[in-house]
Amino acid sequence: MKITVLDGHGLNPGDLSWDGVKALASEFTVYDRSPQELVAERIGDSEIILLNKVRITSEIIEKCPRLRYVGVLATGYNVVDTKACRGRGITVTNIPSYSTNAVAQHVFAFILHFTNLVASHSASVHEGKWISNPDFCYWLSPLTEISGKTLGIFGFGHIGQKVAEIALSFGMKVIVHAHSEESFKKGLDCISLPSSKLSEISSVSLEDLFKKSDFLSLHAPLTPETTELVNENTLSLMKPSAILINTARGGMISEKDVRAALESKKIAAYAADVLLEEPMSKNCPLYKAPNCLITPHLAWAPKETRLRLLDIAIGNIKAFMAGKPVNVVN
């Protein structure tokens, strides 16, 4: 089958190999990026396409009658009109659970950034401040032990579970607000820890999650119910010392309300790997906001993680070709 990758640069900027996909194709083409107006033309008579952020609309589907399979190189698949694909008999797949370890790791990179202030202290040393200091040690602002602090987790899927597991190893208290009590219990069953440790994870109401968390980390999909979950009202519940972390979806927060909370010191800090609009717009309310740490949607991007994603994508294509598709989302 003819296979076309529409925006391969995000997954593979040159440090991975497409050979595993190429081996499955009669003809194989990779575009680093595809402007929306060229998408239908570049798909052409391809039967299989792979994409990450390129939008596949009903109009594009109508222009590509040979298209049989859309492989999204990510977990989220909102860029594809899955209903239109289903109507045309086009299979759509995604890549679930590939980035759990990497995203959980990034959450704690954010937490430790604020508690240990490694970068700012190293910078001060290289500015000569330790050389001129009369004492053997100094610190620029108070440091924090995370042991004993409360980590709140909104959403209790694979990433939320892994974050909880790591938090317990740091001696943190863990509180969770899951979609339901049943999903909370299922989440506990997925964590490979002794029951004595699992008993340290508590299910709480949404209000208590915001009120009690020293660190609050978001780990849920973007739905009508979670859109702008973090807003002026919920932010007002948080401790002034609390730090909010978002590695889930930019639309889960009101960016203007978070900026206002940072400027008025209603919360201590905000850390995010995702924004409502990506790449960032110069008009983003969080641009240059105080005590705001933003990374450019890279939590998923360690090489090992991207290699795992590519391997799953290849497996998805093979399963589709064998007539037994997996990870189907439509």
CB count, 10 Å around CB of 166?
18
Q: Tell which residue, 296, 276, 161, 280, has the closest CA to residue 220.
A: 161
* Residue that is written with structure tokens 């890279």 in the block: 298
Alpha carbons 320 and 330: distance in angstroms, whole number = 13
E strand intervals along 6-63? 27-30, 48-51
Alpha carbons 21 and 11: distance in angstroms, whole number = 13
Phi, psi of 195 (to 5 degrees): -60, -30
Q: Tell which residue, 230, 217, 207, 224, has the closest CA to residue 285.
A: 230
C-alpha dihedral, 69 to 72 to 76 to 81, nearest 10° = -40
Is there a catalytic annotation at residue 249? yes
Question: Which residues are CB-contacts of 153 (< 8 A; sequence separation ≥ 6)?
Answer: 160, 163, 164, 174, 175, 176, 177, 216, 217, 219
249, 259, 306, 308: the catalytic one is: 249
106, 297, 306, 308: the catalytic one is: 297
Alpha carbons 29 and 20: distance in angstroms, whole number = 13
Question: Which residues are CB-contacts of 6 (< 8 A; sequence separation ≥ 6)?
Answer: 31, 34, 39, 42, 43, 49, 50, 51, 54
Alpha carbons 227 and 254: distance in angstroms, whole number = 8
Is there a catalytic annotation at residue 179? no
Active site residues: 249, 278, 297
